[in-house]
Amino acid sequence: MPNWTKSTSETETFDILLFDGFSNLCLANTIEPLRAANMISAKPLYHWRILTLSGEPATSSSGLRVTPDAPLGQLSGALLAVMPSYGFRELAGWRSQAALRAAASRYPVIAGLDTGAWLMATAGLLAGYRATIHWEELTGFAERFSDIETVRERFVIDRDRITCSGARAAYDLTHHLIGETHGQALALEVGQLLMARDRSTSGEVTTVDQAISMMAANLEMPLTIGEVARHCGQTQKALETRMQATYGASPRTIYRRLRLNQARKLSRETSLSVREIALRCGYDDPSAFTRAFKSEFGTTPRNLRSADVA
């Protein structure tokens, strides 16, 4: 289960290998959560680079031309995301196979996004692994690669291999990786910033998502956890169980973090007094608010504001 407070101080480098016909949406859904995590944390948690096999620009399915930072053969990092989309079968020749096999010795994790699993499989990088692919190609993938356990899931993480089913699932995967590495608190903030809802496999809005929305709408005058649970049609115990399973934290912890996230935003972006910020975030006592803020973020609202100005 993810740890709500897990974190690392190291910058992770994600390299994204583009092929002609790649999906703009898949690329954005991979990079934007990383950018948001850096912005919210005010730390360089992630660095990303765009690669192609040759170092020449790649053109997306909608005609967007992207100039890479370097050819694949020149770099290494924490993770390599292989990102083709349309025309992937024509891309699975000896050249890409050799390049991906060589990259596997330089990258501890290889990920195939959208139809990237097909290129990984032809290079022999998924034999004996569980994997998924864009669901339109799932049957053909399972028939072509019998040495792979093909599953219909949004994304699959199996040891040092990751596969993802499509552009929207790329966001879910990146969001998940942020939470696993830097804690579900940061992942929650990224989701709020990008207005991304927690979805079940079927795409339905979950009870946890409903509860978080209810909390976010009632920061100034916080509800009891029992009231939040009743709004979601759950008992308090059931909601606590679901929250713990999803975020590794209690509803009370999550609600507190939402209120303090808003306090941090107000501290940075407004000239409101500490007392006014406290009231807007559900704290009657400014001193208690300041103690809670410092416990969460390691600094006081005044010091945070001073550091931003400096």
Structure tokens at 293: 């803020």
What value does the mean pLDDT of the chain take?
A: 88
Are 135 and 150 a contacting pair, CB within 8 Å?
no
Q: What is the pLDDT of residues 25-46, one digit of tens each?
A: 999 999 999 999 998 888 899 9
- Looking at residue 100, its pLDDT comes to 96
Q: Is the pLDDT reported for residue 204 higher than 80?
A: no
Tell me the three state secondary structure of residue 71: strand
- Looking at residue 196, its pLDDT comes to 62
- Looking at residue 308, its pLDDT comes to 65
| Domain residue spans of the chain | 12-181, 197-310
Q: Is the pLDDT reported for residue 4 higher than 70?
A: no
Residue of 83 and 7 predicted with greater confidence:
83
For residue 48, the 8-state DSSP code is E
In the chain, the amino acid numbered 62 is: S
pLDDT band at 9 (very low <50, low <70, confident <90, very high): low
Q: What CATH number is given for 197-310 in this structure?
A: 1.10.10.60
Are 61 and 85 a contacting pair, CB within 8 Å?
yes
For residues 163 and 68, give the distance between their C-alpha atoms in angstroms, rounded to a whole number: 23
Are 26 and 166 a contacting pair, CB within 8 Å?
yes
Q: What is the pLDDT of residues 253-267, one digit of tens each?
A: 989 988 998 898 899
Structure tokens at 179: 């939470």
For 255, phi then psi, to 5°, come to: -60, -45
For residue 58, the 8-state DSSP code is E
- Looking at residue 56, its pLDDT comes to 95
Tell me the whole-structure pTM to 2 decimals: 0.76
Q: Is the pLDDT reported for residue 2 higher than 50?
A: no
In the chain, what percentage of residues exceed pLDDT 90?
Answer: 66
In the chain, the amino acid numbered 254 is: I
- Looking at residue 291, its pLDDT comes to 95
- Looking at residue 249, its pLDDT comes to 83
Could you say which architecture CATH assigns to the domain 12-181?
Answer: 3-Layer(aba) Sandwich (3.40)
CB count within 10 Å of CB 1 equals: 9
Q: What is the pLDDT of residues 60-108, one digit of tens each?
A: 999 999 999 999 989 888 999 999 988 888 888 899 999 999 999 999 9
For residues 192 and 63, give the distance between their C-alpha atoms in angstroms, rounded to a whole number: 30
Torsion angle, alpha carbons of 124, 130, 131, 137, to 10: 90
Are 167 and 133 a contacting pair, CB within 8 Å?
no
In the chain, the amino acid numbered 147 is: D
For residues 159 and 142, give the distance between their C-alpha atoms in angstroms, rounded to a whole number: 20
Bridging pattern class, strands 65-66 and 58-59? antiparallel
In the chain, the amino acid numbered 136 is: E
Residue 35, C-beta contacts closer than 8 angstroms, at least 6 positions apart:
46
Question: Among candidates 217, 264, 207, 261, which has minimal Cα distance to 239?
Answer: 207
Residue 87, beta-bridge partner list:
85
Tell me the three state secondary structure of residue 243: helix
Q: What is the pLDDT of residues 122-135, one digit of tens each?
A: 999 999 999 999 98
For residues 157 and 186, give the distance between their C-alpha atoms in angstroms, rounded to a whole number: 20
Q: What is the pLDDT of residues 222-255, one digit of tens each?
A: 999 999 999 999 999 999 998 888 777 899 998 9
